[in-house]
Amino acid sequence: MLIPLLWTVSTSLKTLQQIAVWPPEWIPRPVMWSNYIEVFHVAPIALYLRNTMVIVIADVLGAVITCSFVAYGFSRTNFPGRDALFMLLLSTLMMPYVVRLVPLYVIYNQIGWINTFLPLVVPPLLGRNPFFIFLLRQFMATIPTELDDAAKIDGCGYIGIWWRILLPLIKPALATVTVFSVIYGWNDFLWPLIVLNDSELFNLSLGLATFRGLYSTQWSYLMAASVVVLMPCLILYFIAQRFIVEGITLTGLKG
C-alpha cells in the first residue's frame, strides 16, 4: 500500500531525466524541491482548490445536517410506510452509480445546470447519500427514547430534540460521515468531468488531469500536485480515525 505513495513522492522530487533512468532511483539526486513551487505556476492550483472547497462544503453540510435530519425521521418518529420507505431508500444502494449518469445528465441539461456548480452542490445539500442516512439512523437507534420523552416534557419540539439532544450524542457518527463526505468531494472526478466544461470551474481532480498532454506528460509536476492534493485527506484521516472506528463499531449496537 505504501509503495505507490512513496513512489509518487519520489517522482515529485525528480527531473524528467531522472524519471527516465533505468533502473529507477528511489532517492533522487539532486532533490528538486522547486517542483512544488513551479506546480503552482504551471496550473491554477489555487483556483482548483477554491472550486473543490465549494463542493466539499456542500457535501459536509448535506451529510451532517440534511442526512442526520432524515435519519432522525426514520429512527425516532412513527409514520405510515416508514419501514417500506426506508427499505426503498436502502435499495438505491444496489444501483450502480454509472447507471444514473445519463438520466441525471439529461435532467440537469434540460433545466440548464450543465457547466455550473449546481449539479455538484444542490444534490448533497438535499441529502442524496443513502449510506450516510443509514449509518446515522442506526446510530440514533442506540440512543434511549426516554431522552426524547424528557425533552418533550420540557417543551422541546422535534427539531429541538434533533438539534439539542441527538446531534451532540452522535458525534462519532457525524465525524465518520464528515470524513467520508470530505474525501468523496475532494476526490470526485467522474461526475465533475461530465457536468463541467469550463476549465475555470474544474476541481482538483480534473485539474490534475490537465497535466497529462496528448504527446507528453509533465510527470514531476503531476506527482508534485498529486502529493499536494493528497496531504489534506491523509491529515484529516489520521486526526479523525478514532472517531471513524468508534462511529462504525458502535453503529447498530443496542444498549
52 or 31, which is more confident? 52
Range of the domain at 66: 43-209+231-250
How high does pLDDT run on average in the chain? 86
Q: What is the pLDDT of residues 40-66, one digit of tens each?
A: 888 888 899 999 999 999 999 999 999
How far from the centroid of its chain's Cα atoms is residue 168's Cα? 22
Q: Per the structure block, which three cell numbers stand in for 233?
A: 485527506
- Determine the Cα–Cα distance for residues 55 and 52; give it in Å rounded to an integer: 5
> Has residue 254 got a pLDDT over 50?
no
> Has residue 178 got a pLDDT over 80?
yes
> Has residue 104 got a pLDDT over 90?
yes
> Has residue 175 got a pLDDT over 90?
no
In a domain, 74, yes or no: yes
Q: Per the structure block, which three cell numbers stand in for 169?
A: 450524542
Identify the helix (H) or strand (E) that includes residue 228. Answer: helix 219-250
> Has residue 247 got a pLDDT over 60?
no
Q: What is the pLDDT of residues 114-160, one digit of tens each?
A: 999 999 999 999 988 899 999 999 889 888 889 888 999 988 888 99
Count of structural domains, the chain: 1
The pLDDT assigned to 40 comes to 86
In a domain, 22, yes or no: no
Confidence band for 255, pLDDT divided at 50, 70 and 90: very low
The pLDDT assigned to 52 comes to 93
The pLDDT assigned to 53 comes to 93
In a domain, 132, yes or no: yes
In CATH, what number is assigned to the domain containing residue 65?
1.10.3720.10
In a domain, 123, yes or no: yes
Q: What is the pLDDT of residues 199-244, one digit of tens each?
A: 899 999 898 887 776 566 778 888 888 888 888 888 887 887 776 6
Q: Per the structure block, which three cell numbers stand in for 86?
A: 426506508
Using alpha carbons, list the distances in angstroms from residue 72 to 64, 166, 167: 12, 8, 10
35-44 long-range contacts (CB < 8 A, ≥24 apart) are: 35/220, 35/221, 35/224, 36/12, 36/224, 36/227, 36/228, 38/221, 38/224, 39/221, 39/224, 39/225, 39/228, 42/211, 42/218, 42/221, 43/207, 43/210, 43/211, 43/221, 43/225, 44/207
- Determine the Cα–Cα distance for residues 178 and 174; give it in Å rounded to an integer: 6
In a domain, 34, yes or no: no
- Determine the Cα–Cα distance for residues 62 and 68; give it in Å rounded to an integer: 9
In a domain, 219, yes or no: no
Which amino acid is residue 251, in one-letter code?
T
